[in-house]
Structure 1
Amino acid sequence: MDPVIRSIRADEWPAVKELRLAGLQDPVAHLAFLETYQEAVAKPDSFWRERAAGAAEGVLERQQFVAVESGGRWVGSVVVLVEEAEAEGALGGVSEVRQGHLVGVFVRPEWRGRGVTERLFAYALEWAWEVAAVERVRLFVHERNSRAEGFYRKIGFVPSGESVPVPGDPGARELEFVMKRP
């Protein structure tokens, strides 16, 4: 049975924490996330409560979507951050338009290749266009994360030509991919 895709609720912080920690243990986590497992596991429960409340259903500045299998286990997630026009974005730079910024993409290995990531992105993009009313959606991908880059291209993201240094590794680059409002 396919997982249900939905927004998180503020009281689901333990599941937010568990899925994030699982993602940070993935073999390509060093390319996909800007924190380590050791950093995340050391954070107090108050951090995870605030994180969940700040991206829960009804919040308009950001929204976390999860894929939940029938037994209640979370199997994937993506977060949409809303970046206002003329304001500095999450990884720097200033956009001329209101935009969504996708972060925290993770699907458990046993669910990859089964359409879960596509469904998560469809929900996230629909929310970005319809609820947040953004003009474009962007994401960044590490220049060596070819698996993720291939997926983003497949679903319609295109390179913008912009890049930023990877925090903590100035010799590496995060490449910006964008999708304009349909």
Structure 2
Amino acid sequence: MPDAITLARFNESHIEGITALYNDPLITRQVLQMPFQSTEVWRKRLAPDNERVVQLVALHQGNVIGNLGLEQFSRIRRSHAGSIGMAVAREWQGKGVGSMLLAAALDVADNWMNLRRVELSVYADNEAAIGLYRKFGFVEEGLFRDHAVRDGRLVDTLSMARLRSMPQT
């Protein structure tokens, strides 16, 4: 992977890049976002300053090439868990950007948020993403049949989670 890739916490200067990333038709069909979202939609979605939410961007020469959001659940009885969602620009897929983002997010989840469980959903036919998640210890927990509309059809998604062993006291 090129050395010029850096990770940063999302800020206002990344809005245009995030909007472009998620409006790429090949990206839109692999995430649960609607196409043709405005920068204002993304500004509102990413604006809340909440320490239970970590939004990371991968940058190459200042341009957004990936995004990962990690959110700790706010309900008391689910506060040991969080969820992630991510996207990597198609020209950067398979080049380690997703691994960089996921490793950084899981470090925060483990060492700063003390999460025991991190979960996600992924389209059941997205083999590359499923492979990436497995590499980081995620396992399939269930299949959601006809879970989301994509390309005018109902398609399946997988529920995946990674459980971290907690130190014995």
TM bracket (short chain): 0.7 to 0.9
Partner of 2:32: 34
Deviation at 1:163, TM superposition (A): 3.5
Q: CA RMSD in A?
A: 2.6
Deviation at 1:165, TM superposition (A): 4.5
**Structure 2 vs 1, CA of residues 34 and 161 (structure 1 numbering), >3 Å: closer, same or farther?**
closer
Taking structure 2 as the reference length, what is the TM-score of the superposition? 0.79
**What is the DSSP-based 3-state SS (H/G/I as helix, E as strand, rest coil) of the residue aligned with 1:177?**
strand
Deviation at 1:77, TM superposition (A): 1.2
Equivalent residue letter for 1:178: A
**What is the DSSP-based 3-state SS (H/G/I as helix, E as strand, rest coil) of the residue aligned with 1:50?**
helix
**What is the DSSP-based 3-state SS (H/G/I as helix, E as strand, rest coil) of the residue aligned with 1:66?**
strand
1:63-82 to 2 correspondences below 5 Å: 63-69=54-60, 71-82=61-72
Taking structure 1 as the reference length, what is the TM-score of the superposition? 0.74
Aligned length: 161
Q: Which runs of 4+ in 1 moved over 6 A?
A: none
Partner of 1:93: none
Deviation at 1:174, TM superposition (A): 1.7
Contact 1:16 1:52 in 2 (8 A): no
State percent identity of aligned pairs. 25
**Structure 2 vs 1, CA of residues 163 and 86 (structure 1 numbering), >3 Å: closer, same or farther?**
farther
**Structure 2 vs 1, CA of residues 171 and 53 (structure 1 numbering), >3 Å: closer, same or farther?**
closer
Structure number with the higher strand fraction is 2
1:10-159 to 2 correspondences below 5 Å: 10-22=12-24, 25-26=25-26, 29-30=28-29, 32-38=30-36, 40=37, 43=38, 45-54=39-48, 59-69=50-60, 71-85=61-75, 98-103=80-85, 105-159=86-140
Deviation at 1:131, TM superposition (A): 2.5
